[in-house]
């Protein structure tokens, strides 16, 4: 089942390549486009079927496929999906057809190869989310880079080569260190159990000495944080986004950034819980800096695409903050927000793409008064903008609200700072929206631009519908997530050592008689400072609710 979903796009990609004929044949373009769209839609249907068959009460990996692959190293072909990855799989399935549609007007150069890379990219992304063997995960993780590199480098805008190379080098530099850590982890397992294993479920049983755990965690975290991208590792993102074709941006923002946050939640935190406890506050601090910094930089961008790109830095900061809180609300909100961000930012990039298809510019100053010219497009734009700034009733609200609750229970100071990001996001998004769409038509070129056509309706309706649906019926999504999230949190927190191993009390250590080692004493002050606050977090949660609600009303 999972293998079919993962490799269906790749098979389709090869088929498309074959159907495209030799060279760059324009007469085959409709065939190629139709075929690739069909493949991506079938894949999407398959992911929906997966969701339908998914047992929401179970925390285990479901639809597990297990086959020996490189038995000498304990490497397996091991796929499985749980509540955390399920929606990311569905999101990938959802966004790929939209990305294909968004390229119909913009891409005319070698359509065949474009569709090939986009579908190959889908396979790699799906693989990342369903692989639970670390080696296999790394394989897919690296394989993602290649199609994206070509998508940016061939079909991008002016500085595409620079952006493509920067993109691939940044992300690779982070991930190769993770490779070393993965190998080290497998051999640590081998030292304890006699044979190496890359099975995530098995690796949870390894207990690592602190020194190893620290370095391995940092290697994993670096790979993921570059991908997220967390401040100050974010510099590749604006370049990649601005130069990428619309379809590339949609996938990049919609799905690829989630690989980083997914990796943190799935691998870095649960595999190295002690290190996670120590480093999480620092990561959260960076996340909060990123939230505010991203928002402030977004505010002053003259380029629509760059604005949306920096808004991603800000939004993803929320996700990381929620993850660092390591409690059910925070993590649930983070996972929810991953999906939200995929839907709303994906749609924003599509809209920017539509504008730039029409005007061949993305500068905010070139637009103005579009409401009078293209009322339907602006209506869709408004809805997506509101979803992006987390208006109640849209998907963004649910995610950010949960994250803030969860984070508040953990560290109110950081959360208070982060909450300003909510306000700032309203500022930059609405200001941009106003400058682009309201007022008089100041630029003659904007008169007579065509409104949404059927294809664009086909992109906007699903995005808007999902954004609202996720806003009014979050339980449908949150329920299947919960068991897996609860288990993951238990794993991160529950592994407080009872042995003579170095112990690192931290974040969620409240109410547990943590054993104190000499090594741990240096961290004790920080731990104790958390505990009383955590104990009183329940009453304060309501004030957080009030404040979050208030900040939303201000909008």
Partner 1 sequence: MTDYAAIIPIVIVVLSAVAAMLAEAIRLPGERMPIYGFGLIGLVGAAVASLFLWNTDAHSFFVIRSDNFALFINLVLCVIGILTMMFSNDVVEREHIPAGEYYALTLFAISGMMMMAAATDLLVIFIALEILSLAVYVLTGIRRESPAGSEGAFKYFLLGAFSSAFFLYGIAFAFAVSNGSTRIEDIGRALSAQATGAPPMLALLAVGLLAVGFAFKISAVPFHMWTPDAYEGAPTIVTAFMSTGVKAAAFAAFVRVFLSALEPLQVHWIPILAVVAAATMILGTVVGVVQSNIKRMLAYSSIAHAGYMLLGIVSANSAGKAAILFYLLSYAVTNIGALGIVALLGTAKHQHDELRDFSGLWRTRPGLAGLMTIFLLSLGGIPPTAGFIGKWYIFTAAVQEGHYALAIIGVLTSVISVFFYLRIVVMMYMTEGADVVRPRISRMAMTGLGLATVATFYLGVLPTRVLDVALDSISTIF
**Residues lying near partner 1 in the complex (CB under 8 A):** 23, 69-73, 135, 138-139, 142-143, 145-146, 149-150, 153-154, 160-161, 164-165, 168-169, 172-173, 176-177, 179-180, 183-184, 187
Handedness of CA 176, 137, 333, 536 (dihedral sign): negative
Q: Which two tokens stand for residue 300?
A: 């002053």
Q: How far is the CB of 187 from partner 1 (least distance, A)?
A: 5
Closest CB to partner 1 among residues 46, 168? 168
Contact (CB, 8 A) for 9 and 119: yes
Taking the complex as a whole, how short is the minimal distance between the CB of residue 178 and partner 1, in angstroms? 9
Biggest distance spanned by C-alpha atoms of the chain = 74
Q: Smallest distance, Å, CB 154 to partner 1?
A: 6
- Cβ 181 to partner 1, closest distance in Å? 9
Find residue 75's DSSP bridge partners: 70
Token pair belonging to 510: 């409240």
Give yes or no for a contact between 266 and 134, defined as CB atoms under 8 angstroms apart. Answer: no
State which residue, 138 or 293, has the beta carbon closest to partner 1.
138
Q: Which of 87/141 has CB closer to partner 1? A: 141
Smallest separation (angstroms) from partner 1 to the CB of 66: 16
User: Residue 505 CB, nearest distance to partner 1 (Å)?
Assistant: 28
Closest by CA position to 165, among listed 177, 179, 178, 154:
154
Q: Which is nearer to partner 1, 18 or 45 (CB)?
A: 18
Closest to partner 1 by CB, 161 or 476: 161
Reported as type and span, the H/E element at residue 64 is strand 62-70
How many residues are present in the chain?
A: 555
Q: Are 324 and 276 in contact (CB under 8 A)?
A: no
Distance CA 51, CA 520 (A): 43
Residue 183 CB, nearest approach to partner 1 (Å)? 5
- As measured in angstroms, the least distance from the Cβ of 180 to partner 1 is 5
Q: Of 48, 224, 249, nearest to 137 (Cα)?
A: 224
- Tokens for 35? 């075929």
Of 206 and 384, nearer to partner 1 (C-beta) is 206
Contact 267, 220 (CB under 8 A): yes
133/366 with CB nearer partner 1:
133
12 neighbors 96 (Cβ within 8 angstroms):
no
Tokens, residue 229: 């991208």
Q: In the block, which residue shows the tokens 């370095």?
A: 215
CB of 96 to partner 1, least distance (A): 21
Helix (H, G, I), strand (E, B) or coil at 360: coil
Rank residues 215 and 431 by Cβ distance to partner 1 and give the closer one. 215
Evaluated on CA atoms 467, 469, 473, 478, the torsion sign reads negative
Kindly tell me which of 139 and 423 has the beta carbon lying closer to partner 1.
139
């Amino acid at each position: 089942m999972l293998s079919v979903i993962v490799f269906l796009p790749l098979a389709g990609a090869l088929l498309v390549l074959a159907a495209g004929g030799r060279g760059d044949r324009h007469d085959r373009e409709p065939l190629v486009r139709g075929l690739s769209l069909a493949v991506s839609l079938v894949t999407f249907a398959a992911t929906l079927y997966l969701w339908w068959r998914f047992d929401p009460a179970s925390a285990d990996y479901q639809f597990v496929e297990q086959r020996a692959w490189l038995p000498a190293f304990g490497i397996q072909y091991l796929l499985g999906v749980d509540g955390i990855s399920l929606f990311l799989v569905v999101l990938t399935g959802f966004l790929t057809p939209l990305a294909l549609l968004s390229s119909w007007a913009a891409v005319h150069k070698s359509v065949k190869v474009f569709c090939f890379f986009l579908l190959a990219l889908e396979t790699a992304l799906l693989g990342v989310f369903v692989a639970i063997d670390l080696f296999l995960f790394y394989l897919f993780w690296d394989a993602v880079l290649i199609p994206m590199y070509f998508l940016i480098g061939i079909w991008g805008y002016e500085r595409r080569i620079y952006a493509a190379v920067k993109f691939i080098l940044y992300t690779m530099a982070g991930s190769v260190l993770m490779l070393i850590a993965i190998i080290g982890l497998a051999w640590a397992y081998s030292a304890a159990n006699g044979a190496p294993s890359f099975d995530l479920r098995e690796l949870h049983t390894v207990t690592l000495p602190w020194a190893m755990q620290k370095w391995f965690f940092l290697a994993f975290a670096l790979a993921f944080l570059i991908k997220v991208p967390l401040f100050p590792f974010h510099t590749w993102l604006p370049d990649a986004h601005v130069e990428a074709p619309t379809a590339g941006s949609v996938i990049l923002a919609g799905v690829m950034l989630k690989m980083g946050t997914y990796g943190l939640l799935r691998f870095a935190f649960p595999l190295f819980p002690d290190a996670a406890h120590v480093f999480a506050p620092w990561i959260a601090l960076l996340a909060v800096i990123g939230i505010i910094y991203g928002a402030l930089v977004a505010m002053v961008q003259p380029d629509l695409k760059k604005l949306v790109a920096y808004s991603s830095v800000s939004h993803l900061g929320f996700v990381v903050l929620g993850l660092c809180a390591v409690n059910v609300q925070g993590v649930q909100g983070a996972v929810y927000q991953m999906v939200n961000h995929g839907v709303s930012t994906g749609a924003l990039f599509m809209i920017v793409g539509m504008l730039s298809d029409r005007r061949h510019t993305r500068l905010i100053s070139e637009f103005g008064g579009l409401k009078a010219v293209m009322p339907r497009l602006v209506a869709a734009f408004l809805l997506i903008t509101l979803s992006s700034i987390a208006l109640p009733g849209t998907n963004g609200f649910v995610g950010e609200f949960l994250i803030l609750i969860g984070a508040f229970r953990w560290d109110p100071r950081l959360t208070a700072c982060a909450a300003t990001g909510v306000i700032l996001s309203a500022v930059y998004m609405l200001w941009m929206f106003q400058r682009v769409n309201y007022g008089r038509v100041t630029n003659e070129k904007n008169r007579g631009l065509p409104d949404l056509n059927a294809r664009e309706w086909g992109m906007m309706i699903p995005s808007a519908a999902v954004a609202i649906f996720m806003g009014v019926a979050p339980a449908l999504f949150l329920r299947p997530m919960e068991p897996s999230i609860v288990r993951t949190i238990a794993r991160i927190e529950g592994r407080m050592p009872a042995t003579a191993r170095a112990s690192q009390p931290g974040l969620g250590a409240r109410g547990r008689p943590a054993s104190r080692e000499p090594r741990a004493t240096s961290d004790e002050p920080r731990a104790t400072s958390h505990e009383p606050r955590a104990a009183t977090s329940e009453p304060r949660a309501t004030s957080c609710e009030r404040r979050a609600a208030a900040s939303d009303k201000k909008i």
